[in-house]
Structure 1
């Protein structure tokens, strides 16, 4: 019988001292045993980022050698597809907290990540950031502050993204506007005055622009709720590392639910915006009008990358709230509930003060 090799994204590392699973220690290049403290250095990769040629993947949708199967659990409540490491004793969806049943695990094909941005802050630090943020919220329900005390409510997630590279070429026609000013007299009598008006002279313009578009970042997952806020979803991609499953150990890994084709279409919109900026800069002047622009992309490549974020879920009066902490920078954001009674008594207190001032005045 042919022996199957373990999958790159599902390799487990065991402690040589006690046999427990090693987990990645954020901000380091080490795996650590949480039981006996043993550490193991993650060997630096000899390979560069795996930039994959886009066209073959769009034609065959990832059936090449850079695809593999991974064990997934699908959340029926919010739609997230998650690969959960074995060291999580309680299986629940990282976004909505719904229970996940291990017997429902299934194998699913995915495009192997080409790069990963390792966590730079650990769960303890992320929990401290969350707790400080919650403590500073006005009119927050007491239950929210109590929930923030439990660090188990804050879990680390590698969120999937697509990045696209391409050579961009665009030719254009348009007009370059140059400002000039004229003086004009307005009004009559005492209201008569001279004003300075800005006007524009237009000159025809045409030409072409070209350049390299690097690492256009496109979100690759889409749930009913739990989408990362824009201020949290900002990473320094210069710190990306060639993919190594060691960095995933101890964290939840989410599988992309936005197909490569849809991600590519979204990246084209970004490329068009970049081309428009380049064209306007090329036209020059004080203002520009772009009449036509024909953009072409060539030498297109992509990679599937994993980016770090901590997620905390809270329910209040039947509604779910998600809080997010960027696993690299520590930036926090999210929805928050308000306590009706705290707001009510605050308004009542203000009205009482106003009434007392009115009576004594």
Structure 2
């Protein structure tokens, strides 16, 4: 497949005035900031094809998937890599906020994205979500909403891999069922009393389980995986809205290059499938308790896609400290850090202690 040069990715002159067009999240069209002209893109869903992948291959080679050439900017401060427009004189890293001079970009051959989920949340909408979210916690300082100064707000397409696989599992194990028998014991006063003691009846069982795992999502950004809890919360996308990859959708936005390769992500997906199969087989085994559960899982029809998903990467400053948060560029879901008020926490602890003392007082009456 013919590679895409940077000019193909970033050059779309307005037909009215010749200025550079950008993709508008609100209009879902290419829009000109200079004259206001808009142009339809014409989203399609004809090229979202799966690429075959063999999970059993230990040293996976670059698969026979479409590739492209892009210009890569590597941040001099944190090392994050993004695709960039070569004519921008300075760049602000979306991950660490450092200011960088755009160096001579290097060309790197990459697996081309099969699809992209266009931004639906504009910068103004993301800012409004932040203002609502930042003051929406009782434990946060009362002046947080007024005192939080937005430091960085970057709309970025984040690389992901999706994986499909058919799983076939065979399992065996012992299911335990509780029952109770009366036992004569002595109580604290030396009297003989009857108690019901628990026993377990074990039953050997075996069976099979199969399931198809569709579009298992694995983030391919090593920088963002360092914020794993926030990333998972903000990365709940409706993948049905993905359209064919069109470089024009990236106009005016940043796009990170995948830093977690296909092999590593495929192994993670396989581990997740194994864990889910283990849980599903445990459910089939049943019982009140279990022992010696053994599961053997084989995978077939494994495929993958490379896609780009929208995320606002943001930070704000409160009382001189930097806090980070993420906004889902499709749904507006927010996840991130918020400072906590020391006196509110102390008040909550005091209320809990008083509640415990109150119940202790009632118990003594």
Q: Could you tell me the TM-score, scaled by structure 1's length?
A: 0.80
* 1:122-181 Cα distance to aligned partner (Å, 9 max, x none): 110101111233345734898993622x7xx31201111111111111222212223334
Query: Shift of the alpha carbon at 1:67?
Result: 1.3
Query: Shift of the alpha carbon at 1:86?
Result: 6.7
2:218 is aligned to 218
Structure 1 alignment gaps of length 5 or more: 348-361
Q: Pairwise mapping of residues 1-16 of structure 1 onto structure 2 (< 5 A)?
A: 6=5, 10=9, 12-16=11-15
Alpha carbon RMSD of aligned pairs, Å?
A: 3.5
Structure 2 alignment gaps of length 5 or more: 347-365
Q: Does the 8 Å CA contact 2:325/2:337 hold for their aligned counterparts?
A: yes
Alignment partners' CA distance in 2, 1:87 and 1:290: 63
1:45 is aligned to 44
Q: Pairwise mapping of residues 137-216 of structure 1 onto structure 2 (< 5 A)?
A: 138-139=140-141, 145=147, 147-148=149-150, 153-184=152-183, 187-188=186-187, 195-216=195-216
Alignment partners' CA distance in 1, 2:237 and 2:197: 45
Q: Pairwise mapping of residues 1-361 of structure 1 onto structure 2 (< 5 A)?
A: 6=5, 10=9, 12-26=11-25, 29-45=28-44, 47-55=46-54, 59-62=60-63, 64=64, 66-85=66-85, 90-135=90-135, 138-139=140-141, 145=147, 147-148=149-150, 153-184=152-183, 187-188=186-187, 195-223=195-223, 227=227, 229=230, 230-314=232-316, 320-336=322-338
Count of aligned residue pairs for this structure pair: 337
Alignment partners' CA distance in 1, 2:292 and 2:172: 6
Q: Could you tell me the TM-score, scaled by structure 2's length?
A: 0.79
Q: Secondary structure at the match of 1:269?
A: helix
* 1:186-242 Cα distance to aligned partner (Å, 9 max, x none): 554698766555443221112222221111211211128863513222222232222
Q: Does the 8 Å CA contact 1:50/1:115 hold for their aligned counterparts?
A: no
